[in-house]
Amino acid sequence: MTYPALVEPAAELTVDEVRRYSRHLIIPDVGMTGQKRLKNAKVLVIGAGGLGSPALLYLAAAGVGTIGIAEFDEVDESNLQRQIIHTQSDIGKSKAVSAKESIAEANPYVEVVLHEERLDNDNVMDVFRGYDLIVDGTDNFATRYMVNDAAYFLGIPYVWGSIYRFDGQASVFAPSMADDAPCYRCLYPEPPPPGMVPSCAEGGVLGVLCASIGSIQVNEAIKLLTGAGEPAIGKLVIYDALELEWRKLKVRKDPACRLCGPDADVTDLIDYEAFCGAISEDAADAAAGSTISVTQLEKMLGEREAGERDFVLVDVREPNEYEINKIPGSVLIPKGEFLNGNALGQLPADKQVVLHCKSGVRSAEALAVLKGAGFENSVHVGGGVVAWVNQVDPSQPSY
186 a catalytic residue: no
CATH class entry, domain 15-276: alpha beta
Catalytic residue among 183, 200, 257, 260: 200
- Cα separation, 231 vs 222, in Å, equals 9
Span(s) in the chain for CATH 3.40.50.720: 15-276
State the pLDDT at residue 134.
98
210 a catalytic residue: no
Amino acid 163 reads: I
CATH class entry, domain 281-391: alpha beta
- Cα separation, 393 vs 387, in Å, equals 9
Tell me how far CA of residue 187 lies from CA of 119, 251, 254, in angstroms: 23, 7, 8
The alpha-carbon radius of gyration of the chain (Å, integer) is: 24
**How many CB atoms within 10 Å of residue 246?**
12
Catalytic residue among 186, 260, 276, 357: 357
State the pLDDT at residue 399.
86
CA atoms within 13 A on the CB side of 235: 13
The pTM is what? 0.84
Tell me how far CA of residue 343 lies from CA of 331, 356, 358, in angstroms: 12, 14, 19
Q: Determine the distance from the C-alpha atom of residue 247 to the mean position of all C-alpha atoms in its chain, rounded to a whole number.
A: 22
- Cα separation, 50 vs 65, in Å, equals 22
Q: What is the pLDDT along the chain (399 residues), one digit of tens a residue?
A: 899 999 999 999 999 999 999 999 999 999 999 999 999 999 999 999 999 999 999 999 999 999 999 999 999 999 999 999 999 999 999 999 999 999 999 999 999 999 999 999 999 999 999 999 999 999 899 999 999 999 999 999 999 999 999 999 999 999 999 999 999 999 999 988 766 666 667 778 999 999 999 999 999 999 999 999 999 999 999 999 999 999 999 999 999 999 999 999 999 999 998 888 767 788 889 999 999 999 999 999 999 999 999 999 999 999 999 999 999 999 999 999 999 999 999 999 899 999 999 999 899 999 999 999 999 999 999 999 999 999 999 999 988
Span(s) in the chain for CATH 3.40.250.10: 281-391
